[in-house]
């Protein structure tokens, strides 16, 4: 479009329309509280990025002219911005140097069952067959959330999925319950009616039951119609993970707890802080707990704890760099990636 974006010492970001001979003001984005030093259009989305001497970078929605995100650095005034032409990367120069950052998480939500991978891409649920390498869209997702799908829980018995969307204000997070259509036309996939409810995380716990961690951090058990069948008192937790039929792993700041949903009781607990990913071996005999690496924490840090089914820690692996992902191979070796290595670990440590 014939648009110009400008930033100025009046603390405003302005959008202008232009023709051959003149430009006229269309709209203003207000929110910075010091001189705006640079503003750029996002190369692929309807967004504007601006930065300022108020030590913040802001992201604006062009259609609504509202702020979407704010990044702050307490000690550095920002001066200049650049957008990568085709990657999700931006650079911003400040008093002390520069930062390179991305706006949204690029890791898609996915679930693996047998030889099938289900994953979300561009508002579609896609299915990849590892044997044939056939990759098809199986259904279209309903729109209405400006946040990407954060994680997925797949139910092979009912061919149903739970897709969780994590909002920047956690209390606005939602999940969608879908039954995947039987005969998908990959050229023009169906857009089935999903059931959407509020909740931080939703995970299958049985063939016809799933658990929802709601915004009050209590646990609801729901059926396939998305109706609450019971409420379960759980120890304090801020995230839940799958742990086999009838069980969940509950995360708090310092530990992971194995919880029996049927008997409503804690079975075991292991100390590890800030777990981000939980990866079970195919036979559910072992689990790898991957911790989030905090930039501010003193090194080294326990990045991975490998446990048995009873959540007894078999080994701790320390990494000085962020652990990104992991997978089990058939012989019980855990293979994982850091920012710059592929490594493996055996359960004896």
How large is the average pLDDT for residues 91-98? 93
Predicted pLDDT of residue 144: 61
DSSP at 128: E
Top-confidence range, 105-114, 143-152, 178-187: 105-114
How large is the average pLDDT for residues 83-97? 92
CA distance between the termini of the chain: 58
Per-residue pLDDT at 284 exceeds 70: yes
* 3-state per-residue secondary structure call for 178-213: EECCCCCCCCCCCCCCCEEEECCEEEEEECCEEEEE
CA-nearest of 94, 93, 122, 90 to 103 is 90
Predicted pLDDT of residue 328: 96
Predicted pLDDT of residue 224: 94
CA-nearest of 168, 181, 82 to 125 is 181
Phi-psi sector, 253: left (phi>0), alpha (psi -120 to 50), beta: alpha
What's the pTM value of the predicted model, to 2 decimals? 0.78
**For residue 174, what are its two tokens?**
């939602």
- Identify the structural domains of the chain with CATH numbers, from first to last: 3-101 (no CATH), 105-232 (2.130.10.10)
Predicted pLDDT of residue 235: 85
Q: In the predicted model, what is the mean pLDDT of the chain?
A: 90
How large is the average pLDDT for residues 124-144? 90
Per-residue pLDDT at 107 exceeds 90: no
| Cis preceding-peptide flag for 56 (omega within 30 of 0) | no
DSSP at 172: G
Strands 301-308 and 12-18: unpaired
Percent of the chain clearing pLDDT 70 (strictly above) = 95
Residues 6+ apart with CB under 8 A from 77: 34, 37, 52, 53, 54, 55, 94, 95
């Amino acid at each position: 479009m014939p648009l110009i974006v400008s930033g100025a010492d009046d603390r405003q970001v302005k959008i202008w329309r232009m023709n051959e001979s003149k430009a006229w003001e269309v709209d203003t984005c207000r929110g910075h509280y010091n001189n705006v030093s640079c503003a750029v259009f996002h190369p692929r989305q309807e967004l504007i990025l601006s930065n300022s001497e108020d030590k913040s970078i802001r992201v604006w929605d062009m259609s609504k002219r509202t702020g979407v995100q704010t990044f702050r650095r307490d000690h550095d005034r920002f001066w200049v911005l650049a957008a990568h032409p085709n990657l999700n990367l931006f650079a911003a120069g400040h008093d002390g140097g520069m930062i390179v950052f991305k706006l949204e998480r690029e890791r898609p939500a996915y679930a693996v069952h047998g030889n099938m991978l289900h994953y979300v891409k561009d508002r579609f649920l896609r299915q990849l067959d590892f044997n044939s390498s056939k990759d098809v869209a199986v259904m279209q997702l309903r729109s209405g959330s400006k946040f990407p799908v954060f994680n997925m829980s797949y139910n092979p018995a009912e061919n149903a999925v739970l897709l969780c969307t994590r909002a920047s204000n956690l209390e606005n997070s939602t999940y969608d319950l879908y039954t995947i259509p039987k005969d998908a036309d990959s050229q023009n996939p169906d857009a089935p009616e999903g059931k959407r409810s509020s909740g931080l995380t939703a995970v299958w716990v049985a063939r016809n039951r799933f658990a929802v961690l709601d915004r009050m951090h209590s646990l609801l058990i729901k059926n396939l119609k998305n109706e609450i069948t019971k409420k379960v008192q759980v120890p304090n937790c801020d995230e839940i993970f799958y742990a086999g039929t009838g069980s969940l792993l509950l995360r708090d700041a310092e530990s992971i707890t194995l919880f029996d949903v049927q008997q409503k009781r804690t079975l075991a607990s292991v100390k590890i802080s800030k777990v981000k990913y939980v990866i079970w071996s195919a036979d559910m005999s072992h689990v790898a707990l991957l911790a989030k690496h905090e930039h501010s924490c003193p090194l080294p840090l326990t990045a991975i704890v490998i446990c048995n089914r009873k959540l007894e820690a078999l080994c701790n692996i320390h990494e000085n760099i962020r652990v990104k992902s992991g997978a089990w191979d058939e012989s019980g070796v855990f293979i994982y990636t850091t920012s710059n290595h592929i490594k493996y670990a055996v359960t004896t440590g």
